[in-house]
């Protein structure tokens, strides 16, 4: 274990609204160790030892009741959290449905969380994946994890700009307030993403290794050393227990949002 990080620690849940939970089929890439989420080369092991589709497989979106329970737990613990939402749900045919339309009840609970000051909604991309040529779809004999990242440097600048501004539009219209934090899907981003993010009104970038991208005009960076990150999948599969464990292990002063930790 390294020393406790200086400054407040943010709690962050990723992948709400991301259809990658349906289309992305591969092995485990994060392990929980002492309350932290750490990288794990699970694709290799998974593909080597286990049938590629059956053991990881798709999981469902969090429903309103589960989000309500999470908000109550945060409130009781005096904690706040950032929820990284992918603004567009990628349908099987590649068309996009905005998260607030696709999951109306759940998204309303999230908005209540924002209104109650318990939740910061962050931009977790527009699609969470590479859309073109159906590359997001599952494959029979290999993982497709690489296609479930959105902001590759090899994608044209216009794609970075379009995806970020569409996601901002959907989330900000729905919440009626600015969205200031970007959580790049899968920690993949480029200078093109950063330029587009600042243009779209984003002010903070939160991901693994974020500080390596500093400085960038108009943006602050919050490394995952200062963030306890988990996924909606943890709550879908584990119920409330994983969140309870994280809240019980909160640092002195409790968890804050990414935006607050970066301030
Ligand atoms: Zn994600």
What is the residue-averaged pLDDT of the chain? 89
Q: What are phi and psi of 137, to 5 degrees?
A: -75, 150
Which positions ≥6 away from 241 have C-beta within 8 Å? none
What is the arithmetic mean of pLDDT over 189-217?
97
Question: How far does residue 10's CA lie from ligand 1's centre (Å)?
Answer: 17
Burial of 34 (0-12, 13-18, 19+ CB in 10 A): exposed
Question: How far does residue 130's CA lie from ligand 1's centre (Å)?
Answer: 13
The three-class DSSP label of residue 173 is helix
Question: How far does residue 19's CA lie from ligand 1's centre (Å)?
Answer: 10
pLDDT top residue among 100 and 25: 100
Which positions ≥6 away from 106 have C-beta within 8 Å? 16, 61, 62, 63, 64, 67
Question: How far does residue 151's CA lie from ligand 1's centre (Å)?
Answer: 12
Q: What pLDDT score does 22 carry?
A: 84
Question: How far does residue 231's CA lie from ligand 1's centre (Å)?
Answer: 8
Question: How far does residue 14's CA lie from ligand 1's centre (Å)?
Answer: 5
Q: Tell me the pLDDT band of 254, cut-offs 50, 70 and 90.
A: very high
Q: Does residue 192 contact residue 160 with C-beta atoms inside 8 Å?
A: yes
Q: Which of 233, 240, 199 is nearest to 14 (CA)?
A: 233
Which positions ≥6 away from 239 have C-beta within 8 Å? none
Q: What pLDDT score does 28 carry?
A: 60
What is the arithmetic mean of pLDDT over 64-81?
97
Q: Is the pLDDT of residue 1 over 70?
A: no
Q: How many CB atoms lie within 10 A of CB 55?
A: 12
Q: Tell me the pLDDT band of 169, cut-offs 50, 70 and 90.
A: very high
Q: How many CB atoms lie within 10 A of CB 74?
A: 21
Q: What pLDDT score does 26 carry?
A: 64
Q: Tell me the pLDDT band of 17, cut-offs 50, 70 and 90.
A: very high
Question: How far does residue 103's CA lie from ligand 1's centre (Å)?
Answer: 17
């Amino acid at each position: 274990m390294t020393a406790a990080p200086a400054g407040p620690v943010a709690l962050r849940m990723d992948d709400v609204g991301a259809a990658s939970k349906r289309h992305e089929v591969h092995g485990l890439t994060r392990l929980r160790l002492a309350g932290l989420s750490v990288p794990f080369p699970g694709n290799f092991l998974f593909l080597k030892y286990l049938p590629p589709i059956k053991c990881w497989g798709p999981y469902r979106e969090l429903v309103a009741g589960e989000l309500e329970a999470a908000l109550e737990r945060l409130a009781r613990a005096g904690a706040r959290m950032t929820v990284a939402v992918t603004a567009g749900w990628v349908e099987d045919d590649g068309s996009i449905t905005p998260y607030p339309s696709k999951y109306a009840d759940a998204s309303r609970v999230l908005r209540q969380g924002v209104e109650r000051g318990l939740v910061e909604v962050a931009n977790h991309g527009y699609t969470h994946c590479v859309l073109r040529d159906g590359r997001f779809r599952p494959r029979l004999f290999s993982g497709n994890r690489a296609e479930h990242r959105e902001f590759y440097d090899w994608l044209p600048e216009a794609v970075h700009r379009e995806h970020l501004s569409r996601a901002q539009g959907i989330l900000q219209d729905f919440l009626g307030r600015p969205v200031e934090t970007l959580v790049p899907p899968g920690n993949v981003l480029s200078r093109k993403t950063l330029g587009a993010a600042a243009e779209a009104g984003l002010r903070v970038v939160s991901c693994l290794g974020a500080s390596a991208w500093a400085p960038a005009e108009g943006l602050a960076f919050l490394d995952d050393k200062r963030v306890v990150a988990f996924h909606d999948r943890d709550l879908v599969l584990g119920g409330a227990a994983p969140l309870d464990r994280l809240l019980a292990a909160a640092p002195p002063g409790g968890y804050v949002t990414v935006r607050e930790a970066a301030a």
